Amino acid sequence: MNVVQIVGCALNTGAGRGIRAVHEALLDAGIRSHILGRVERDLPESLFARRVPLLQRLPVGVKNRFYKWDLMRRFGENPPNFHPISHGLRLHSSPEYRKADVIHVQWAHAPTLGPAFWRATRREKRPVVWTLRDMWPFTGGCHFAGLCEKYTSGCGQCPLLGGGDERITSDDVAFKAEHYGPQSVFVAISDTIAEQARKSTVLCERDIRVIPNSVQMSQLRAMDKAQARSALGLPANKFVIASGALNLADPRKGADIMRHLLHVYRDNKNVHWCLFGKGLAELVDPVPENCTGFGLIRDEVTLNQIYSAADVFVMPSLQESFGKVTVEAMACGTPVIGLFKTPAEEIISHGQTGWLVKHGDADAVAAAIETARALPVPSLRNFGVSARAAVIDRYSPEAIARRYIDLYESLLSGDQA
């Protein structure tokens, strides 16, 4: 079986690492899987990953720079994360695409998937699997809609574009609905994304399946807390709370909740915060003395140490497509506090592997922290043991690859039940 994995991001990013892990598990299982797209250069040949040549990327890159410049001209230095289909690569002309039995779009966004690619997939007689890693495949151009539900009625009057009478978003939704061919199959990485897709005008009549994201479990282990804290320079005898995101100051990632928690515990000498990700100074200024920031973490060893050093991990995100850090923290034996109405509901067992609290309620998160702090050390340790057991097999690349193989085989056999 030949499968081409269409990827619009580097393989060392959060989404990219998950895609790469499953791809490697597919290779180990005997599937001839090839990665094609905007991946980084100098990848090992044994990975079967090909970067699109510069001459193909260059005109798209130039157009994308003009698009971003126009967004900044209209909206200032912090333009919305919005990109309707306008230009992109012609990945369907590659040999990997032509030779594939199954076309798998692993991460979709506008600068990767051009109109010509969409027209090609619409005509496909081969199975085309679309993994829904965010909301972009069924919105008018945004990757996360926030509180907006216009994607359920065809978009238009987009809040990101000022809410005026515009046809950009409605035309984008109509284009997507028209160009998902009959051979297209959709796989959401969480029940949350699946439910949103089912409400959208683009995919409301489609069968939406759910296969979770994968996490490379071999690189995550429950380290001795004292050793992890010593390695990181964290206090040995305080209650350590960890949290992290690509951008800690991002409102969608729960910045207001984190800002509130850091204020509540600012003068508590028995608590120490351990945060990773950019934007800490933007989140809180000055940074409290009982807070250590590690910035963006690129290596798995430090990340493993942070997760293991913590007594509890706080996941304050208001909107996520999966919640990879939740699974990573639990795989390191650390219970997690997350929010209802997010994918954390699908990962955390309340009162067993962590705690779930009311969506957006910062005081409820603080109360859950106090619940964890009140537990005897052996009881909190048992939470961590249960947390690791809950995720170690369920989200492994091997388990997720097996589910995709089953899907590929059913599609090729014509049995899509």
**Secondary structure class of 371 (helix, strand, coil):** helix
Q: Which residue has the tokens 């289909």?
A: 85
Do 288 and 144 have their domain in common?
Answer: no
Phi, psi at 34, each rounded to 5°: -125, 135
Beta strands in 141-267 (DSSP E): 184-188, 208-210, 239-247
Q: Residue 256 gets which letter from DSSP?
A: H
Do 191 and 242 have their domain in common?
Answer: no
Do 117 and 264 have their domain in common?
Answer: no
Strand partners, 210: 188
Domain that holds residue 286: 217-391
Do 168 and 235 have their domain in common?
Answer: no
Do 146 and 270 have their domain in common?
Answer: no
Do 234 and 108 have their domain in common?
Answer: no
Do 75 and 89 have their domain in common?
Answer: yes
- In angstroms, what CA-CA distances link 397 with 33, 128, 215, 299, 364? 14, 21, 6, 19, 34
Residues 154/307, Cβ–Cβ less than 8 Å: no
From the list 256, 302, 294, 255, the residue with the least C-alpha distance to 278 is 294
Do 177 and 30 have their domain in common?
Answer: yes
Cis omega (within 30 of 0) for bond into 115:
no
pLDDT (0 to 100) of residue 12: 87
Query: Amino acid identity, residue 171?
Result: D
Other C-beta atoms closer than 10 Å to the C-beta of 143 total: 18
The H-or-E segment that residue 259 falls in is helix 255-264
From the list 139, 65, 137, the residue with the least C-alpha distance to 108 is 137
> What confidence tens digit (pLDDT) does each residue in 148-196 have?
999 999 999 999 888 888 899 999 999 999 999 999 999 999 999 999 9
Look up the CATH number of the domain holding residue 289. 3.40.50.2000
Phi, psi at 26, each rounded to 5°: -65, -45
- Which residues touch 66 (CB under 8 Å, ≥6 apart)? none
Do 57 and 108 have their domain in common?
Answer: yes
Residues 317/253, Cβ–Cβ less than 8 Å: yes
> What confidence tens digit (pLDDT) does each residue in 94-122 have?
999 999 999 999 988 888 899 999 999 99
Strand partners, 128: 103, 184
Do 303 and 167 have their domain in common?
Answer: no
Phi, psi at 359, each rounded to 5°: -60, 125
Q: Which residue has the tokens 């798995």?
A: 300
Structure tokens at 88: 């992109």
- For 101, left (φ over 0), alpha (ψ -120 to 50), or beta? alpha
- Rounded CA separation 186/189 (Å): 10
Do 193 and 206 have their domain in common?
Answer: yes
Report the chain (417 residues): mean pLDDT per 10 consecutive residues: 94 88 96 94 94 87 86 80 88 94 92 92 96 96 93 94 87 96 96 97 96 90 95 96 96 96 96 97 95 92 96 97 95 98 96 97 98 97 96 94 97 79
Rounded to the nearest 5 degrees, what angle is found at the Cα of 133, between the Cα atoms of 190 and 167? 120
Structure tokens at 103: 């076309």
- Rounded CA separation 361/90 (Å): 45
Phi, psi at 396, each rounded to 5°: -70, 150
- Rounded CA separation 284/279 (Å): 9
Do 197 and 328 have their domain in common?
Answer: no
Other C-beta atoms closer than 10 Å to the C-beta of 325 total: 24
The sign of the torsion formed by the CA atoms of 214, 218, 224, 228 equals: negative
- Rounded CA separation 389/365 (Å): 24
The H-or-E segment that residue 58 falls in is helix 54-75
The sign of the torsion formed by the CA atoms of 393, 395, 398, 401 equals: positive
Number of domains composing the chain:
2
- Rounded CA separation 111/282 (Å): 29
Residues 96/68, Cβ–Cβ less than 8 Å: no
